[in-house]
Chains A and B, each alone.
Chain A
């Protein structure tokens, strides 16, 4: 791990984003608008909004970051800059970590804005600390970045990359426990949900919302989310091939 190269890559990606403010605007605004839409959909059922509103604060950023990063990485590949970088001293993990750093910074902005709007204007309420929700929203967005970097290694074109979103994230969303309690699912599905990261995102945010202290299951959830992020970056670096046909 070379901090200088990682930071340089992070700064470079953020500088690229600064020249594309519309994308940054979309990244920050879309989760806010979706959260507002959920509020509106359940305007007569505040109990439902309170139940799903908090987990979605993590799931929306995870999804948008996943998409944006997988496309950005694919662009790096198709533009030839990836091959060029792979002939330089930068390590593959440092390159991916630089991306994680850049989008992680955007994730913090995204997490803070969506939380301010949800708690300040949409009437979302939690028993636990709001800072805990914001931290988990950001962690989920960074996880989305890491997963996006990982799957981008398997996409040859933008058409393939965008389809990883429904293929990879929608099943996780369906099984996360948000739509139906996991205990009521068929045994095989519950077992499958146990190995999907979004399950832990849902669980962690639900627990913070319910006012559970940081410990026991919540600590485990957070560890799984952070561990999956690092593992995805490492796997992404391992699957990134220096030599290509």
Chain B
């Protein structure tokens, strides 16, 4: 059992007068892929923003690699990929990556490497505005891989991607985890769950389950993650 790379203690976030996270506590294991699953609006993105330190929090503590989230020293050790691609439309793929490489202090040779990782070889000179939505998402993902951070927080990185490419990206994620990278990957698609080492099922700011995919199914007496989710919601509601 490894020590947690991310520790969250009684995290409370209020957005627009609504309590999005009412007091969440969880530890995320180092060197593993943790899948954060739940419907749209359940607080996945808010939790991720708190971990990278851009979310105003109302209370609680978020510790990443032993330091308070968002600390200057963490900003080169934690990579973040937002749900909407955060790249410059009016720059080429290569220019985007070269800029982020400079900001992240990554060697310029890394640009070609990450372009290959996300399957965009040959697209270096294309303007991002000429790419499809999925290709843009991959450029955005590539920026976070440049400096090989110890923690990667990926908000829905595989939405709308070709299944073949999705498979390849998951292979990459596993390779990164094998080398010791901690990955937190959100998805609203339950079928990605089995690819993760650990699962966190979330609904309305609460954690329904946190275990390995097999244990989640066992706990919920279910055969699919989707079914487990429904069973767990039912259990909570009967209990609540």
Contact = CB atoms under 8 A, between A and B. Distances in A.
Given A12-B95, A87-B54, A243-B70, A81 B103 contact: no
B103 A19 contact: no
Interface in B80-112: 80, 82, 84-91, 95, 99-100, 102-105
Interface in B118-158: 127, 140, 143
Contacts of B102: 4-5, 8
A127 interface: no
B75 interface: yes
A182 B87 CA distance: 48
A83 B55 contact: no
B15 A245 contact: yes
B78 interface: yes
A223 B123 CA distance: 48
Contacts, number: 76
A81 B104 contact: no
B95 A89 contact: no
Given A4-B102, A12-B99, A242-B70, A79 B89 contact: yes
B238 interface: no
A81 B103 CA distance: 13
B52 interface: yes
B236 interface: no
A87 B105 CA distance: 14
A229 B159 CA distance: 44
Contact of B53 (A5, A89, A243): A243
A16 B52 CA distance: 27
A88 interface: yes
Given A19-B127, A243-B56, A245-B56, A87 B88 contact: no
Interface of A: 4-5, 8-9, 11-12, 15-16, 19-20, 79-81, 83-90, 242-245
23 contacts: A9-B99, A12-B88, A12-B95, A12-B99, A15-B91, A19-B90, A79-B86, A80-B84, A81-B86, A84-B86, A86-B54, A87-B52, A87-B75, A87-B80, A88-B75, A88-B76, A88-B103, A89-B76, A89-B105, A243-B55, A243-B56, A243-B57, A245-B56
Given A16-B90, A244-B54, 4 more contacts: A8-B102, A84-B140, A84-B143, A89-B103
What 9 A-B pairs come out closest when comparing CB atoms?
A: A84-B86, A8-B102, A80-B86, A12-B99, A87-B80, A19-B90, A87-B52, A89-B75, A243-B56
